């Protein structure tokens, strides 16, 4: 497309987390207003990436002492090996460096082996420490070595091709790496000015605790943006800058409307009346009456102006015409402090 075209701006959404229910495993994210139809478009894309493309860590293989296949049993252990493996797959691991690692479990005697009993490499942190691995009878023991890998989405067990039993008795597990357990999104209509067909997107993100909802959303958006960048056939159209400029104009217009100044250049109000280029007679009459700034004039009504000494109807018409050229008029009743405050927020210098 022609980069010299003047493109229409897009609505810039406001995004925020609901702080009341934001935690380690759940977060509610709201984006509004969005362009009509963008709620479903963005919500569906974000949901799909969150569920399938966020990195995480999981146990992908184990060595259980005294076992060489997943269909075995262990003396003195309540659970069979298959049940132990299912329990192992539910271990939640937070990987601080994104690297592979190892963990070890060795429990003896009459005990319940839990995740809290596992000793992991320094960069691995176990989240669900109360999760039960197995129940051990008196006089028995359970010793397991865990191998942790990182990945995205679901991965089938990576058994070496051509061998059933491994030389080191390792058993390979299928793994769900994604820290995201569930994502819901809801789209409602919201108002922008007089338009009521803009979208409000609400995302409800659930995780297993290894990553926070805000972190997984950041990762998700980074993935989407990186992938979409490669679809660009020319330099990106700077919609952010185009839209931000429109937002600034609209914001200034709204602030002016609050003071009854829609369409008015407010910086003119604090200037001296010399800016109006009045005749000497009208100018001197106003100065003598203490009306030295334009805001002093717009706060007068016509009757009050006519009461100024030597200020007649001819001078009144002259001043009215001059004020009109600036979009101003008599009887505007503006508070000088409000105008000064508004000017300061815009970084303008206020003449005293």
- 321 part of a folded domain: yes
* pLDDT score recorded for residue 314: 83
What percentage of the chain exceeds 90 in pLDDT? 50
Mean pLDDT across 124-134? 95
Q: What is the pLDDT of residues 62-110, one digit of tens each?
A: 999 999 888 989 999 999 999 999 999 999 999 999 999 999 999 998 9
Least confident of 17-21, 63-67, 184-188: 17-21
Structural domains counted in the chain: 3
Rounded to an integer, what distance in angstroms lies between the CA atom of residue 66 and that of residue 103? 18
Instruction: Tell me, yes or no, whether 151 and 74 share the same domain.
Output: yes
Instruction: Tell me, yes or no, whether 149 and 93 share the same domain.
Output: yes
Residue indicated by tokens 């478009």: 41
Rounded to an integer, what distance in angstroms lies between the CA atom of residue 54 and that of residue 178? 6
What values do phi and psi take at 210, rounded to 5?
-75, -25
* pLDDT score recorded for residue 302: 83
Q: In what order do the strands lie in the sheet with 180-192?
A: 14-17, 26-34, 195-207, 180-192
Instruction: Tell me, yes or no, whether 266 and 325 share the same domain.
Output: yes
Mean pLDDT across 145-149? 97
Q: What is the pLDDT of residues 252-292, one digit of tens each?
A: 555 555 445 544 556 677 788 888 788 888 888 888 888 88
* pLDDT score recorded for residue 322: 79
Question: What rounded mean pLDDT belongs to the chain?
Answer: 85
Q: Using pLDDT thresholds of 50, 70 and 90, give the confidence band for residue 2.
A: low
Q: Is the pLDDT of residue 348 over 70?
A: no
Q: What is the pLDDT of residues 199-253, one digit of tens each?
A: 999 999 999 999 999 999 999 999 999 999 999 888 888 877 776 765 554 555 5
- 128 part of a folded domain: yes
* pLDDT score recorded for residue 350: 42
- 237 part of a folded domain: no
Instruction: Tell me, yes or no, whether 156 and 86 share the same domain.
Output: yes
Q: Is the pLDDT of residue 53 over 80?
A: yes
- 131 part of a folded domain: yes
Q: Using pLDDT thresholds of 50, 70 and 90, give the confidence band for residue 345.
A: low
Instruction: Tell me, yes or no, whether 301 and 338 share the same domain.
Output: yes
Residue 220 belongs to domain with CATH number: 3.30.1360.10
Instruction: Tell me, yes or no, whether 40 and 79 share the same domain.
Output: no
- 310 part of a folded domain: yes
Q: Is the pLDDT of residue 187 over 80?
A: yes
Mean pLDDT across 31-51? 94
- 113 part of a folded domain: yes
**Quick one: tokens of 12?**
């810039």
Instruction: Tell me, yes or no, whether 74 and 163 share the same domain.
Output: yes
Instruction: Tell me, yes or no, whether 146 and 221 share the same domain.
Output: no
The residue among 84, 102, 83 whose CA lies nearest residue 93 is 102
- 19 part of a folded domain: yes
Mean pLDDT across 300-320? 84
* pLDDT score recorded for residue 262: 47
Instruction: Tell me, yes or no, whether 157 and 184 share the same domain.
Output: no
CA–CA distances in Å: residue 193 to residues 11, 269, 294: 12, 28, 32
Instruction: Tell me, yes or no, whether 167 and 308 share the same domain.
Output: no
* pLDDT score recorded for residue 349: 43
Least confident of 137-151, 267-281, 325-339: 325-339
Instruction: Tell me, yes or no, whether 153 and 187 share the same domain.
Output: no
Q: Give the domain extent around 296.
A: 260-345
């Amino acid at each position: 497309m022609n980069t010299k075209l003047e493109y229409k701006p897009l609505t810039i959404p406001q995004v925020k987390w609901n702080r009341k229910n934001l935690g380690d495993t759940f977060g509610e994210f709201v984006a509004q207003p969005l362009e009509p139809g963008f709620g479903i478009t963005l919500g569906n894309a974000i949901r799909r990436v969150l569920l399938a493309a966020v990195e995480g860590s999981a146990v992908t293989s184990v060595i259980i002492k005294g076992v060489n296949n997943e269909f075995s049993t262990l003396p003195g252990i309540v659970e069979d090996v298959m049940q132990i493996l299912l329990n192992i797959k539910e271990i939640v691991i937070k990987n601080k460096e994104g690297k592979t690692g190892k963990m070890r479990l060795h429990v003896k005697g009459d005990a319940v082996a839990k995740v809290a009993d596992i000793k992991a490499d320094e960069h691995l942190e176990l989240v669900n420490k109360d999760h039960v691995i197995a129940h051990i009878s008196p006089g028995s023991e359970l010793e397991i070595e865990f191998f942790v890998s990182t990945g995205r989405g679901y991965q089938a067990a990576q058994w070496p091709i051509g061998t059933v039993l491994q030389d080191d008795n390792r058993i390979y597990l299928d793994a769900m790496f994604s820290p995201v357990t569930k994502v819901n999104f809801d789209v409602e209509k919201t108002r922008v000015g007089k338009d009521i067909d803009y979208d409000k997107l609400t995302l409800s993100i659930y995780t297993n605790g290894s990553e926070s909802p805000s972190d997984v959303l950041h990762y998700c958006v980074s993935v989407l943006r990186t992938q979409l960048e490669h679809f660009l056939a020319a330099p990106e159209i700077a919609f952010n800058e185009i839209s931000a400029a429109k937002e600034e104009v609209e914001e200034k217009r709204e602030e002016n409307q609050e003071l009854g100044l829609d369409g008015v250049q407010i910086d003119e109000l604090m200037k001296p009346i010399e800016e109006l280029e009045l005749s000497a007679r009208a100018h001197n009459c106003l100065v003598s009456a203490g009306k030295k700034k334009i805001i002093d004039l717009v706060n007068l009504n016509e009757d009050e102006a006519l009461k100024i000494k030597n200020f007649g109807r001819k001078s009144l018409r002259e001043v009215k015409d001059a004020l009109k050229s600036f979009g101003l008029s008599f009887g505007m009743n503006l508070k000088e402090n409000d105008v000064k405050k508004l000017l300061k927020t815009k970084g303008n210098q206020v003449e005293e």
